[in-house]
Amino acid sequence: METLSAGDPQRLGPYWLAGRLGSGGQGIVYEAYDPEGHRVALKMLHPAGNGMAGRLAKEATAARRVASFCTAKVLAADLDGSRPYIVSEYVPGPSLRDAVAEGRRFAGDDLHRLATAVATALTAIHDAGVIHRDLKPDNVLLGPDGPRVIDFGIARTLDMSLTRTGEVAGTPSYLAPEVFAGQRAGTPADVFAWGATMMFAATGQDPFHADNLGGVMHRVLSHHPDLSALPPGLAPLVGAALRKEPAARPAARDLLLALVSGDSADLGGLLAEGSRAAGGVAAPGPADPALGTIAEDAYGSLGPEERDLAAEVFLRLVAIGEDGRQTGRAASHDELFEGRPEHEAEAVRRVLRAFSYVVSADGHTVELSRPALLRAWPRLRMWVNADRDGLAVLGEINRAARHWAEHGRRDADLLQGSRLEQALRWAATGRRHVTLTPRERDYLQAGTDLARRRTRRRRLTTVALAGMLVVALAAGGVAVWQGRQTARQRDIAVARQAAAEADRLRTVDPVTAMRLSVAAWRLSPQPEARGSLMASLQQQETAVFRDPPVQGLAYRALSRDGRTLVSVSKQGVNVYDVRTGRRVGGWKGLDLKGEIAFGPVLSPSGRLLAQSTPEELGVWDLTTGRRVYREKLEPGGGGGQYPLFGEHETTLLVVYFDGLSHLVDLRTGRRFGKALVRKDGSEALPDDLLVDPAGRRMLVTEGRLDAMSLPGWKRERPYPACRTESAVVAFSPDGRTLACARDGITVVDAATGRVRARDDEWSCDVCGRPGPRMRLDDRHAVVFARRDLQVWRIADHREVLTYRAEGDLTDVRLDPDGRTLRYLMDDVVVSVDLGPRVTSTRVSKDAEIRFSPTGRWATVAGYEATSLRLMDLRTHRDVATFAKGSEDPVVPGFDERRGRLVLAGAQSKVRLIDLRTSRQVWAVRTPEYNLPEQVVFSPDGTKVIMSMGPEGQSGPFRVMVYDAATGRTLHAYRTTVRGGPLTRDGKTLVTGSGTYFDLTTGKQAGTGFAVSEEGYSPALSSRGVIAIGQDEDGRIALWQYDPRGPTPIRPALPRAAGSVVLLAFSPDGGTLATLTNSGKVQLWDPAGRRRLGGSFDLHTLREPEALTFSADGRTVYAAVDGTVHQVPVDPEQVAAAVCRRAGGALPERDWAAHLPDVPYRETC
């Protein structure tokens, strides 16, 4: 990457430029960084002429429509300014042309994957209605995640006018014949360029190269390239793409279908499959590091003395303008070296040498050669933020001191008055990393002397200035207070960085992520750290094991207990214990003819390993490495045959992609059984054929469940309950239980076929997706398909986990410990904790639960019960029982302070009970044709306020106000508004209808605020914040209460994980809890307008009933489906729980790697 030249801008819009990546006829491409420090590619276009601005805008809009499958996604564009530009993803890697120029050639699978990648990109581009028009090796980048097609700079949309006759846009040797013939370039022209690019990748030569444009035109129009360098499977496709007639070429989508054998009906799935296949193309050479990484590596190479000086050196290269904007500046040689001891000056020189890639020095000045470093390097951002206010002051002191020294050191050029005081105060107490140069110190000293001479009467002011000057000029640095402030600012910045790093590592290194979040919280309890800490308690992932790389491709299998990974390649077999990461077995070499095309399979015990190639099948004893079976395979459709194990240890199935070839008894080596082909010709999935644990039957799943007896090969129907419920089946490890699933799950006795469990609410969402598979043990059932999985507890049919992985799941297994699930995805085994994140207590099978405001009590009322239970939430013990009608819903109202309870029933009766004596104090009749919805006591305990809704679909609402001592009706209002929380003065209801309701007049007051579309009640905090869940999309509105009318709080909260049914504020108003209709509890920081972590999933299909905080604000209580859940909120409790999950604190070696600027401390 070239450094910026004198004419290059430092910034364009919000993007900071780091250097030139290249230039061409349309403009200059820069490496740039956005305000958050993310690397992007920015193309600054040459100013558009007349009529071009509109075209550029259309082209940018078109490019942004392209899905990011094997393409560099267009992120932003600004085409209205004097310097128009387009921003896209940065792809760290060389172009295909550069890779070939360095000697790389593509052949075999490597070329096939490259072809798939570029075809995938073209399919996505064409699907968006865009034509690339300049596809060539230079515009294919080999990134770390596979090839990416870039540069839609001359792309056109299909609804725009295409290339005009005689206008040639693109690179000549990759243009289609019709373009040279003066025809319009359409999608077939891109397909032609695809074919030419594949020829270049295979041969290293442009297929239509000539010395001049006329020669290139002649070769494109008449020459037919030699395709012998291409593999047999690819040559026909490239040949078809290079046909001279556009109509004879295949579409990009057809190319992709042929390359991946995909489903033409599912474009999204086809693009995803192409993208996955393309991921195997490795980028050559070392990774292309971002600017921040380069700077951090340079910083890491410094010694302690240089590190101490690095911050000061870089801050001297930053200026803060009057508008607060940062820019780079040139620091003079004197600023960095004058007055320093020689050893310190030499240390500064070492800093400049270490950072020579980002800093330029000419002997007189030093400046940033790559201004984007200000955004790209997090450490520099931290330094600037810590000294931000003072950098403007430093700039003024530096400029004024230079002017003063160069113009005779006149008194008239000295700072005076408040400006001098401000400068001295910063120099004395505000500095973090910067020391003053001798000239700057002399300048401040002269200003103070002048002030002393002129203001002898203002002795106190003079003394104060002199005192600040002493501190400012002290050789030892700054005061103790300043050091503490510096440490505090550092800890805040580092805590935020650590929290962000923890969130990034959750699926990569879950244990380090958890430990980092605790360290972030301990360093500085910022909202970001608290959110990260909460996410660590919520995260399902607990460990990750990555298969160590080998030469060539490796294929993997996970054992039935999920504890062992077997990795097979042409170099041999490796066996790993995924819990410890240790290699526990294996051998070198794999004596099989042909190339491995399918992954290995393991027998139920994990003792036998079966592996095939299109030519041969082998079975080995995994403990000894001895081969126990060998078979020559016949070629077949879809890549040949491959082995499968069912649930019987020594019965092996040999299958084609569309059915069964035969079975093998591994004890004798005898082949038996007959071929079975799926009736619809579709692919047979791994679990469609399943041998039972006894080896007596083979289950066949194809729309319905059948069985073949073994070895007799007679059709049987042993499980009638599963006959039509059989999208997927599985046996338990002991073979006694069979589960089958389609829309729901049925469990039967494997011996008798008798139904053990069937539940209409035991629904399976994943079962309806393509290719579901199932796993079963004594405790759990799992169904997974592609990226998604669901887990249920067999005992009560409750869902305990819904999960979406980052990629397609190769296999999923349940650990015998009963709380760990592991899945295999590519080369990674991820461990997932099935244990609950909350404490749950089932208090009733079928009851409505209501909580008191501070979580001390709960009422439990069965829907057909004749009594209501009052329960102590802290102990979950009943403290009293009260009679009620068998079909009478009861709404409670609590006065916890005075020990009173109001019960309002639907049968026109309200009663108050003294809980200290369990005696009824009074009972009154209520208006007919209305049902109680809410009962609350006034803050002073003198009134009971009851809100009532209509009994039917329509009718009035009512608000009743009673004397709490006698039950006498004080007010009875007929109204149109729904009830809600009571204000602290007890005079107003904040209603669910979006207005205030004055309890003294019965009138609505104040201007309206947002309401819930579903009619749910708002929450009101002790700080006067109103929160309400607005709609099913999870929007939450915040308003500030004011008696004259509420005002909206902006910005709004992020969206919740579904329609918010219930809301509750903590007692101090600092935390908001929400509960969605699907049972997800989320926590929020209303002041910072941020979500704290993710969600606690309570897994329910029924609507939640109650939500509240405990009196100390440390716990949230949620009632769902007869169960009380306790959600930890207190960060100290959460930190302790996370430490237990992570197995302890962040070790010192990891602390040094992630938090190098902060001394180690114990965090757990």
Q: Are residues 679 and 771 in the same domain?
A: no
**Element at 393 (helix H, strand E):** helix 378-406
Q: Tokens 């972590």 correspond to what residue? A: 1093
* pLDDT tens profile 72-83: 878 888 887 778
What token pair was written down for 1154? Answer: 């992630």
Report the percent of the chain where pLDDT is more than 90: 40
Any idea what the CATH number is for the domain that residue 818 is in? 2.40.10
- Ordered DSSP codes for 1061-1119: EEEEE-TTSS-EEEEETTSEEEEEETTTTEE-SS-EE---SSPP-EEEE-TTSSEEEEE
Of residues 103 and 957, more confidence is placed in: 957
Of residues 581 and 656, more confidence is placed in: 581
State yes or no: pLDDT of 457 exceeds 60: no
Q: Are residues 738 and 701 in the same domain?
A: no
What pLDDT, on the 0 to 100 scale, is given for residue 914?
A: 96
Q: Tokens 């910063």 correspond to what residue? A: 426
CB 14 within 8 A of CB 34: yes
What pLDDT, on the 0 to 100 scale, is given for residue 622?
A: 95
What pLDDT, on the 0 to 100 scale, is given for residue 159?
A: 35
What region does 881 belong to: left with phi over 0, alpha with psi -120 to 50, or beta? beta
What pLDDT, on the 0 to 100 scale, is given for residue 936?
A: 96
CA–CA separation, 829 and 546 (whole Å): 6
Q: Are residues 355 and 451 in the same domain?
A: yes
Backbone φ and ψ for 738, nearest 5 degrees, come out as: -125, 135
Type of residue numbered 244: K
Q: Are residues 585 and 464 in the same domain?
A: no
Alpha helices in 68-161 (DSSP H): 96-101, 108-127
The answer as to whether 580 is a domain residue is yes
Task: Pick the last residue of a domain from 426, 446, 478.
Answer: 478
- Ordered DSSP codes for 812-866: EEE-TTSSEEEEEETTEEEEEE-S-SSEEEE--SSEEEEE-TTSSEEEEEETT-S
State yes or no: pLDDT of 153 exceeds 70: no
Confidence of residue 279 (pLDDT cuts 50, 70, 90): low
What token pair was written down for 1108? Answer: 């509240």
Q: Are residues 622 and 760 in the same domain?
A: no
What pLDDT, on the 0 to 100 scale, is given for residue 459?
A: 40
* pLDDT tens profile 895-920: 999 999 999 986 678 999 999 999 99
State yes or no: pLDDT of 170 exceeds 60: no
Angle between helices 480-504 and 510-523 (to 10 degrees): 160
**For the chain, how big is the Rg over CA atoms in Å?**
36
The answer as to whether 1083 is a domain residue is no
The answer as to whether 447 is a domain residue is yes
DSSP character at residue 48: P
What pLDDT, on the 0 to 100 scale, is given for residue 1?
A: 73
The answer as to whether 269 is a domain residue is no
Q: Are residues 4 and 59 in the same domain?
A: yes
What pLDDT, on the 0 to 100 scale, is given for residue 273?
A: 67
Task: Pick the last residue of a domain from 427, 443, 478.
Answer: 478
- Range of weakest confidence among 1049-1053, 1099-1103, 1138-1142: 1099-1103
Q: Are residues 750 and 701 in the same domain?
A: no
State yes or no: pLDDT of 927 exceeds 70: yes
Residues noted as catalytic: 134
Q: Average pLDDT of the chain? A: 84
CB 21 within 8 A of CB 69: no
State yes or no: pLDDT of 481 exceeds 50: no
The answer as to whether 581 is a domain residue is yes
The whole domain housing 582 covers 553-718
Q: Are residues 351 and 440 in the same domain?
A: yes
- Provide the number of structural domains found in the chain: 4
CA–CA separation, 244 and 232 (whole Å): 21
State yes or no: pLDDT of 197 exceeds 70: yes
What token pair was written down for 946? Answer: 């009851």
Handedness of CA 176, 179, 185, 188 (dihedral sign): negative
Most confident of 105-109, 840-844, 950-954, 962-966: 962-966
Q: Are residues 711 and 744 in the same domain?
A: no
Any idea what the CATH number is for the domain that residue 707 is in? 2.130.10.10
State yes or no: pLDDT of 454 exceeds 80: no
The answer as to whether 997 is a domain residue is no
The answer as to whether 208 is a domain residue is no
Task: Pick the last residue of a domain from 799, 826, 853.
Answer: 826
What region does 588 belong to: left with phi over 0, alpha with psi -120 to 50, or beta? beta
* pLDDT tens profile 863-891: 778 889 999 998 889 999 998 876 577 89
State yes or no: pLDDT of 228 exceeds 80: yes
What pLDDT, on the 0 to 100 scale, is given for residue 1054?
A: 84
Q: Are residues 314 and 435 in the same domain?
A: yes
What region does 813 belong to: left with phi over 0, alpha with psi -120 to 50, or beta? beta
Contacts of 786 (CB under 8 A, 6+ apart): 769, 770, 771, 808, 809
Confidence of residue 591 (pLDDT cuts 50, 70, 90): confident
Q: Are residues 324 and 399 in the same domain?
A: yes
What pLDDT, on the 0 to 100 scale, is given for residue 520?
A: 93
What pLDDT, on the 0 to 100 scale, is given for residue 759?
A: 66
Q: Are residues 602 and 676 in the same domain?
A: yes
The answer as to whether 372 is a domain residue is yes
Average pLDDT over residues 724-734: 81
By residue count, the chain amounts to: 1164
CB 1123 within 8 A of CB 841: yes
What pLDDT, on the 0 to 100 scale, is given for residue 268?
A: 61
Of 613, 1107, 712, 608, the closest CA to residue 873 belongs to 1107
Of residues 672 and 109, more confidence is placed in: 672
